[in-house]
Amino acid sequence: MSDKKQDSAAPRRGMGTLGQRLGKVAGNALRRRGFAEATIITDWATLVGKPLADNSQPSRIVFPRGTRAGGTLHLRVSGAFAPEVQHLAPQIIERINGHFGYGAVARIELHHGFTPPPPKEQHENSTAEPAPAVRDAIARVEDPVLAGALERLARARARAPAQPRRSPPPRGRR
């Protein structure tokens, strides 16, 4: 019985998601910026909601000397959303403190700056089929592993939005 407990407490090896590994990988860097827990970064969209998370980003938490409570959360906010974040600051503070379970943040300080655009959502179009000529070419492949990979590639290409063709560069001196 004690062997099973030790096995479950042992560190897991192998692949994991970035969210699972962020605490270990970036732990020291995050602690220097005031983030004792990496979850404020990884769960930011859950804490404040998608529209605010797309236009704001926590940069650091500054705590009073000798305590880990009553800190100031510094947020980088894109210009148009600063008034909304300022208006919602009490609710954001309440959500962050509820997430941590104690009064970690007492106030929010806003800094105008660039926030990276949110990643575009990819809509899965399951009806996208590759062209018949492509399907025929894949059917002639003898290796089943290669045929499966080519089939997945062809479906992905069929789902992808059409890219405009670039014209070739003008001929001239090199």
Let me know whether 151 and 94 are in one domain. no
pTM as predicted? 0.51
**What dihedral do alpha carbons 103, 33, 21, 114 form, nearest 10°?**
100
Is residue 118 one of the residues assigned to a domain?
Answer: no
Of the candidates 83, 41, 81, the residue with the CA atom closest to the CA atom of residue 60: 41
Q: Does 90 lie in the same domain as 133?
A: no
Contact between 93 and 108 under an 8 Å Cβ cutoff? The reply is yes
Looking at the fold, whether 106 and 27 belong to one and the same domain comes out as yes
Beta bridge partners of 111: 76
Residue 162 has what pLDDT? 66
Conformation bin of residue 79: beta by default, left when phi > 0, alpha when psi is -120 to 50: alpha
> Which phi and psi (to 5°) does residue 105 adopt?
-120, 130
In DSSP notation, 44-79 reads: HHHHH-HHHHHTEEEEEEEPPTT-SSSEEEEEEE-G
pLDDT in the model for residue 6: 46
In a domain, residue 169? The reply is no
Provide the domain count of the chain: 2
- Cβ atoms of 53 and 44 within 8 Å: the answer is yes
Q: What is the CATH number of the domain that holds 44?
A: 3.30.300
pLDDT in tens, the chain (174 residues): 444 444 444 455 666 665 556 556 655 555 555 455 567 877 888 888 888 888 999 988 888 888 888 999 999 998 888 999 999 999 999 999 888 888 889 999 999 988 877 666 555 555 678 888 888 999 999 999 999 889 888 888 887 766 666 666 677 665
Task: State residue 75's pLDDT score.
Answer: 92
Domain residue limits at 142:
127-161
